[in-house]
Structure 1
C-alpha cells in the first residue's frame, strides 16, 4: 500500500483541536475563544517566570476577574454570570491548554472548588461580604479539607471547631492546600460534633487568612511549581459565629457536592493538557530530522500520536457527558467518578508517550513536555485518588 506523506514543511505549527461539542451553546463557544486568547497573551509568555518565582501575580487574578472568568459559578447580583458546569468544563479545558498546571490549579481552586461553597451554602450577608471581591479577583479563595491523615477519606478529618461564647475556636492542621500562602479566604472543614462518627458532625467555616493563630508552611512540590501549596496549622483560631457556612454538622454533604464539580474540572484540565501535549509533539516530530527525514515520516510515530489522540478524545467526551448531566440536574455521581478515574490516567499515557517522542530533549528542564509530565502526576491523586473513584463506580454497577 502506498502511504502518502504530506510535506512536513506545510505541517509545522499545527494547532491540534478536538471537534467542538455539537450542542455547546454559542455563549460557551465564545467563552472558549475568549479564554484561549487570554491564555495565549497573558499566561503562556509569562508562565516560566511564574514557575521560577513559585507564585502567580495577583494582577492576573484581577485581569481574569475583569473579563468575567472568575464569576461563572456565581449569581449576577454579586457580579457573576451563573453559567453552570459546562462553562466550568470549557474554562478548565482552555486553562489546561496553557500547559502550566500550577496556574490552572490555582485558578480553578479559586473559581470552582472553594468560592462555590459560599454561593451554594452562604447566607445573604456572607455572599454580600465575600463574593464581589472574589469575583473581581481582589480576594483569592482556597479550600482547606485535606489533612495529614485524611486525604481521599474526608470522613477521617480531625480538625475541630469548638463553640466558645458567641463564636468558634478552631484547632488542627490541613495539608496540601492550594492558594493558602498568598490567598485571602479559606473555606475550612472542621469537626463540630466530637461524638459523631465518620462523615457526621463536620461543618464548614469561612476563615480569613489573616486571622490570628493561623500559620502556613509552603511546601516544595514535584510539579505545579507556580501554584502555592501549603500546610496550615490552626492554633486557637477564633472566628465569629457567622463564619459558619451552611448547616452545622452537615458540611460533609457540601464537600461531596462540590467535589462533583471539581472532578468535572479535572476532566477538563486533562482534556486541555492532552490536546496541548499532542499539539506540541506533532509539531516537534514534523520538524525533528532523523533517519533521513522528519520523524513524522516514520509510521510508528504517526500511529502512536493518532492512538493517543483517540484515547484523549474518548476521555474528553466522557467528561463533557458528565458536565451535561450535571447541568441538567441529573444524578451523575457514577459518571463523574468515571471521569476522575479515567481522565488523569489517560493524560499520564499521553504526556509520557509524547515525552518519549521528544527523545532526549523531552527530559530537559525548560521544555514544556517535561513540565507537563511533572504537572500531570498529581491529577491521579488530588480530588480523589483513582482507586477511590473506581470504588465509587463499582458501588453503582
Structure 2
C-alpha cells in the first residue's frame, strides 16, 4: 500500500524544526532530563527559558514540547493570553483531549464555574447598587482584594479610606448573597476560590492513572491543607514519605501541618525523624525555631534564627524578632521589627500578613487594621490564616504586649481560619 504523502503543513513543520539553529545544549539537556525518572534527584521539573525579545524563546518552547511528545509525554501549552487559573485549566483540558486523554469531571466543573461566575457578578453588582450598599471604595477593595494595594505607588490615601469593619461586613454580605443564589456551598466556593475547588480534581485525575505519582500526591496534600482538610493532607504526605518521593520535603510539610494544628507532641516526634533522615537545614530551621519558641528555649530559637538570616534575611529576621519579643519583650525587639518592615518592602509574598503583624508588634494599629482588612477581603488558605493566628498568639503573650488590642485582631483571624475549615468540611 502506498504511504500517504505528508501534508504541506507537516512538511513546513518538519523543515522548520530541522532548520532550528542554536540552543543545542538546551535541547540536549531537555532530552536527557526526560530519560531520568521523576524520583531521581537530578530530574528537573522546571526549565526556565529567558532572553531578549525576538531571540526565539517561544519557538524553543514549542520545540521542547515536540521533543516531549515524541517521547510519549502528555503536553500542553499555555501563554500570556490566558488570564486566570480556570482559563489555564480549560486550555490544558483541550490540549489533553486532542491527545486522547479526557478530564471529564474537570471539564464539567469548569463549565459550572463559567456559569456560576456570571451569576456571582450579578450578585456583586446588586450589592454595590443597593441603597445601604458599601462605598465605591469598599466595594472596589473587596472585588479587587486589598493584598496588592499597599504595593501600588500613590495608593496610600485610597487604602487609608477603607474601613476594615466595613470591608469584612461587605465580604460577608457578598458570601451570603452567593449562598442564597446558589443551591450548593460547593458552588459558592467554586466562584470565590476556583483554583482551590478545581486543583484537587485535576490531581485526582492524574492519580487515577498513576496512584504512586509522588509529585501529584504531595501537591494534592497541599491543596487539602489550603482548605483545612488536615487528615487528608497528612495521609497524602505520609504516602509520599512511604514512596520516598521527595521525602525530605514531605517530612517537613508534615511537621508544619502538625504545628499548625497544635499537635505538638506529634510534631516534635516527626521533627526528630526528619533530623535523623538527613533532611537539609533549609527545610527544617524555620520549624526548629518555632518549636524552640513554643518550648521557651529562647537562646536556641535565636541561634537558629541568626543562622537563617544568612540564607534568607527576611524569614530569619522575622523569626529572630519573634524570639526576642517572647524572651525580652516587644520594646527591645523594635529595631528587628523595623528591619522586617524594610525587608518586607522588597518582598512579593505575604505583604498584608506581614503588615498586620508589624502593626501589632509596633503598636501601629491603623496599619494593622488596613492590612487585616486586606487579608479578610480575600479567600485565604487555611494554613496561611493558621500561621497568622499562631504569630499573633506569640505577640499576645510577649512581655509588653497591648493584649486588649491584639486580642480582637487575633479573634478575627481565628474566626476566618475556622470558617475556611467549616466551608470545606467533608
TM range (shorter): under 0.3
TM-score, normalisation: structure 2 = 0.25
Q: Which has the higher strand share?
A: 1
TM-score, normalisation: structure 1 = 0.26
Q: Which has the higher helix share?
A: 2
Higher relative contact order (Cα pairs below 8 Å, separated by 6+ residues): 1
